[in-house]
Structure 1
Amino acid sequence: MILCIAQVLPPELLADVTRHLTDARFVDGARTAGWHARLVKRNEQLSPSDAAYADVIRRVNAAIEEHPLFQVAARPKAVRPVMISRYTAGMEYGTHVDDAMMGGVRTDISFTLFLSDPDSYDGGDLVMEGTGGEQSYKLDPGSMILYPSGALHRVDPVTRGARVAAVGWAQSLVRDAAKREILFDLDTARRAIFQSHGKTAEFDLISKSTANLLRHWAEA
């Protein structure tokens, strides 16, 4: 399942993070890539030695993890600290798949939280590659896309301006992506029923099924 979530960062937090990153120190992003991805990764990442690093990472991670739609879609068991990436003219990240394990966390779900206004740069689309073709994404600042960590994807070359984004990975309580999607659909349906009709018998039955499926599928 690929899911776009709008306004994960509220405007005031987005503005503050953007301001901190304006003069922040960035380093070669290939340092954190796997041996194969390093061959196609040409970008920069916020340096851990930068004065703003700890505060920016903490606040962005908190906003992501606390977002209700992220919780329902990802069912996170563990979330890796985000990396702040920057692509300037000529930079790109060629076709790759994310590492299966990062810091002891199994990567089930990857996410990209866009921080730059899409009108401020050209190129830099996140492209998901699949048997059905390619799909490009270039979201508004503060918005985020979730996608399977096992999918091939790339970031197209930036030809003007700078593309800044936070990227991260989560291990889900529900390993299987198809099962996560079933739970997401059921939860979406029950919330819609509750919003329209309140706590009905239908709402209770869907809630029961959602909870019991999670009991069957969740990994403690």
Structure 2
Amino acid sequence: MLVVLDDIIEADALGAMRARLRRDAHWLDGRMTAGHQSARVKRNRQLAEDDPVALELSAEIGAALHRSPRFVSAALPQRISPLLFNSYGPGQTFGAHVDNAIRMTGRGTLRTDLSATLMLDDDFEGGALVIEDVFGPREIRLRAGQMVLYPSSSLHRVEPVQRGERLVAVFWLQSLIRDDAQRRILFELDHSIQALGGELDPLHAQVVALTAIYHNLVRRWAEP
């Protein structure tokens, strides 16, 4: 399941984040966190996980994510990796790769069920995120403040930047629901319940019944 989430970060906050990243951040070679194969096709810069700017902005973005009902519904997050802040300048790219199945963090290990890219600036050319799914390659172009969630098992790449700077925050999630098809069913069911609840009384029998089905499916499928 591939989901684009709108307006995760508001415009004023985005402007402040970009200013901090461009003024105070200490950028390093992006290959330092890549696996053996990924390092051969990765050409960008990123912040260390313990960089003070990264830690401050990660806390701000994390709070915004947990305020987003659509994010919680789509991801059903159990654990979230530390955020990585990436910068791609002209000519920089990340060739086709699949994200590592397990990420080692300071908090332990995390199974990567979902990958996320949050766009922090959209004043650049090129640099599209291309994700392979069952329907073939999908080119994802996000506005600043938008985020895309997609299965970490997907082959994906970042096309070379032609002009400007592509600033993004990327991270990985271990979901309560490991199976992508089950997660899609729950997301669509939750969306339908919310839409129906907007038309009917939230205590209407049909809304209550569907809500019970949703929670019983979560109870059956969730991995604690």
TM-score between the two structures when normalised by the length of structure 2: 0.94
Displaced runs of 4 or more, over 6 A: none
SS class of match (1:52):
helix
Query: Which of residues 168, 173, 178 is equivalent to 1:170?
Result: 173
2 CA distance for matches of 1:164 and 1:133? Answer: 26
Q: Is residue 142 of structure 1 aligned with residue 112 of structure 2?
A: no
Partner residue in 2 for 1:91? 92
Q: Is residue 184 of structure 1 aligned with residue 187 of structure 2?
A: yes
2 CA distance for matches of 1:131 and 1:214? Answer: 25
Partner residue in 1 for 2:6? 6
1:9-158 → structure 2 map (5 Å cutoff): 9-23=9-23, 24-48=25-49, 50-103=51-104, 104-117=109-122, 120-158=123-161
SS class of match (1:213):
helix
Cα pair distance change 1:182/1:130, threshold 3 Å: closer
2 CA distance for matches of 1:144 and 1:43? Answer: 19
2 CA distance for matches of 1:71 and 1:180? Answer: 11
2 CA distance for matches of 1:142 and 1:58? Answer: 16
- Aligned AA (1:213): L
Q: Is the 8 A contact 1:61 1:81 kept in 2?
A: no
CA RMSD after TM alignment: 1.2
2 CA distance for matches of 1:186 and 1:178? Answer: 12
SS class of match (2:116):
strand
Deviation digits for residues 166-199 of structure 1, max 9, x if unmatched? Answer: 0000000010000001011111011111111122
Query: Number of matched residues?
Result: 218
Query: Which of residues 140, 164, 168 is equivalent to 1:161?
Result: 164
Residue 48 of structure 1: CA displacement? 4.6
Query: Which of residues 182, 196, 209 is equivalent to 2:213?
Result: 209
Cα pair distance change 1:99/1:49, threshold 3 Å: closer
2 CA distance for matches of 1:193 and 1:86? Answer: 42
Residue 56 of structure 1: CA displacement? 1.3
2 CA distance for matches of 1:26 and 1:65? Answer: 27
2 CA distance for matches of 1:62 and 1:34? Answer: 29
1 CA distance for matches of 2:198 and 2:96? Answer: 42
Out of 208-217 and 14-23, give the one that drifted further.
14-23
1 CA distance for matches of 2:124 and 2:221? Answer: 42
Q: Any unmatched runs of 5+ in structure 1?
A: none
Deviation digits for residues 136-171 of structure 1, max 9, x if unmatched? Answer: 111110110000000000000001110000000000
Deviation digits for residues 93-149 of structure 1, max 9, x if unmatched? Answer: 0000000000200000000000112xx211100001234221111111011000000
Q: Any unmatched runs of 5+ in structure 2?
A: none
- Aligned AA (2:154): A
TM-score between the two structures when normalised by the length of structure 1: 0.95
2 CA distance for matches of 1:173 and 1:163? Answer: 31
Residue 65 of structure 1: CA displacement? 3.3
Residue 66 of structure 1: CA displacement? 3.1
Identity level (%) = 39
